[in-house]
Amino acid sequence: MKLTRNIVVVLALILLGVALGIALGGREEERGEVAQTSSSASSAATRARPASPAAATEISGAEGTNPPTAAERSGAGGEGAEGEGAWGVVARVADGDTLTVQFDDGREETIRLLDVDTPETVHPNRPEECFGAQASEFTKTLMGQRVRVEEKGRDRYERLLGYVWVEGDGGERLWNMRLLEEGLAVYNDFGNPGRYAERTRAAAEQAMLAGVGLWSACELGERPTVAPTRAVGAGCPRGCVSQPGPSCSIKGNVNTGRDTKIYHVEGESPSYGRVNMKEAEGDLWFCTRAEAEANGFRAPRQ
């Protein structure tokens, strides 16, 4: 009888142990499922979350996070700054670098192209220059066409200074650039370079090296003068130039012995032809009397 009771107790303990094991195993499994679910949800959230700018840069392989500007996206003669400037129709053409535009807002303006100088054809005091007729005919092809003008102030004749963009098969093209590429103009910013000056200057240099247009057809003395500019700043506050141009022929002469600075106007000063310009001694060329006087030069005493 006692043996039977002991057997029953042992079986009961075994059954109890089995029950406890099953219960504990179920809880561990449940916790594992919960942990796996949480991990899956976290991974999904991470995948769904937008990447940070730094992460996006690493993924794309980009070198920087700033988008390129319109000017950086464009090529030498490609699309200009998007949305800038005013649209109109070319109404008249005076010569290769001067045209009149009837704008959509009703105003009519004469535009002097920035960074370029074509040979003269209509100057009141100068004969027609070599390749001037070709440059004029080239720009006259714009008659009646719609153009976009990016303006940059006015010159002393109150003409708008600007870049003219023309629609073409490959998008907008900068007409200032076309003149230089075709060898119909030389680079000259007259002390007032525009936003595309580096590219227009490069185009002019390429045309010169290739002997395009006037660079091979015209003798040195027959071409417009290429006038590199001095930096505006101390000693030159109004944008003087280091070489003369058709509209910048005033000589600013420094006499180091007498410590005087005198400017000479062509056709007015009797000493004009005798003044030898020496840039190393501080001599400068100016477009207007006001610019000469702003730089400390005075008119000669009569």
Domain boundary among 197, 222, 247: 222
Phi, psi (deg, nearest 5) at residue 145? -90, 150
Q: Are residues 206 and 280 in the same domain?
A: no
Q: What is the dihedral of CA 90, 112, 84, 232, to 10 degrees?
A: 180
Domain assignment of residue 8, yes or no:
no
Give me the sign of the Cα torsion angle 148, 150, 153, 155: negative
Spatial strand order of the sheet with 284-286 comes to 260-264, 250-255, 284-286
Domain boundary among 200, 222, 244: 222
Q: Are residues 182 and 276 in the same domain?
A: no
* pTM of structure: 0.52
Q: What is the pLDDT along the chain (302 residues), one digit of tens a residue?
A: 555 666 656 566 666 666 666 555 555 544 544 444 444 444 444 443 444 333 332 322 333 333 333 333 344 455 555 568 999 999 999 999 999 999 999 999 999 999 999 998 887 777 888 999 999 999 999 999 999 999 999 988 899 999 999 988 888 999 999 999 999 999 888 878 889 998 998 898 888 888 899 988 887 666 665 544 443 444 454 455 545 555 578 888 888 777 789 999 988 898 888 888 776 677 888 877 877 887 788 999 87
Domain of residue 168, CATH code: 2.40.50.90
Domain tally for the chain?
2
Residues labelled as active-site residues: 112, 120, 159
Q: Are residues 178 and 192 in the same domain?
A: yes
Q: Are residues 186 and 211 in the same domain?
A: yes
Please work out, in degrees rounded to the nearest 5, the angle formed at the alpha carbon of residue 255 by the alpha carbons of 250 and 258.
Answer: 140
Phi, psi (deg, nearest 5) at residue 39? -65, -40
110/90 Cα distance (integer angstroms): 10
Q: Are residues 210 and 237 in the same domain?
A: no
Domain boundary among 192, 222, 252: 222
**Structural domain for 147, as ranges:** 86-222
